[in-house]
Amino acid sequence: MRTAQYLARIQSELSRVADSISDAEAEALITRILQSRRIYVAGAGRSGLMVRSFAMRLMHLGLEAYVVGETVTPGLSRGDLLLIGSGSGETRSLIPMAQKALSLGASVAAVTLSAESTIGRMADVSVVLPGSPKERSHSGQDTIQPMGSLFEQSLFLFFDAVVLRLMELRSLDSQAMFSRHANLE
């Protein structure tokens, strides 16, 4: 298969994503984000990169958002939200974070493949995205892509859709967001 054909297959997979996401779950996450004092994001590997990009957009929206593990990230406390992006919901480094957040009185949200995963069960709010766990994908059933690529791409696109919904709810446009864009680049 040629590269352009692979791209067409990936786009076809991604076009099916929107139909499988629950609006109720997405709205529950958006409500929790808006109710939270501060939003902390965490993820590992490529999922971690996707949540980092979401934290940036939350900041552009004027929300107080942090990436767990950064040196400038303050301590989490009651009234805050820890948002975890994890395909499996079983990532060993993320489970203790969720436990700690709950023990501090914060809320936990998960965007995952399985609401029945360890992190999904701990979360106050879960959004289930389509895809296959990285160890089972490339079976030809859910995706032609390797490992967790479909989930990671879906995570990125889902977060961009959440940003658009937050812009709508907060009556913000791109220009208002751009005013918060980094200017020391």
For the annotated catalytic residues, the residue numbers are: 152
CA distance 77 to 73: 12
Where are the extended beta strands (E) located within 15-148?
39-43, 65-67, 81-86, 107-112, 125-128
Cα gap 159→176, rounded to integer Å: 19
CB 55 within 8 A of CB 92: no
Contact (Cβ atoms closer than 8 angstroms) between residue 40 and residue 73: yes
